[in-house]
Amino acid sequence: MPPEVAASKFAALGSEQRLGVLQTLVRAGDDGLSMGALGERSGVTGSTLTHHLKILSHAGLVTQTRQGRNLICVAVAYEEVQKLSHFLLRNCCVDTNHECQKDG
């Protein structure tokens, strides 16, 4: 992942509320949540939730789909979150003689 892409994704997580929304979606798993359920569980509702989801979606960290009339926030784009984590840890301990902590 190029540094500028990682920086963009981290910027999307630069809000306590957005980070909380993402964590709520991670806890929900692959099935995701409806907007109403996401709002209840995260404590972020209405236009504020819509705004945060737009930013997270634009960063590729969440995906949104429709089931009938309900908008479902399909949890998290897990692959993207894993890539972001790997970006942070890819050079773990390379400049030391210590055992890397990323594996355990």
Cβ–Cβ < 8 Å for 62, 56: yes
Tell me how far apart the alpha carbons of residues 50 and 44 are, in angstroms, rounded to a whole number. 9
At residue 47, the pLDDT reads 93
Higher pLDDT, 90 or 48: 48
Question: Alpha helices, DSSP H only, in 1-104?
Answer: 3-12, 16-28, 35-42, 46-58, 78-89
101: Cβ contacts below 8 Å, ≥ 6 apart = 92, 93
Q: What band does 65 get if pLDDT is binned at 50, 70 and 90?
A: confident
- Mean pLDDT computed over 16-31: 93
Average pLDDT, the chain: 87
Q: What band does 104 get if pLDDT is binned at 50, 70 and 90?
A: very low
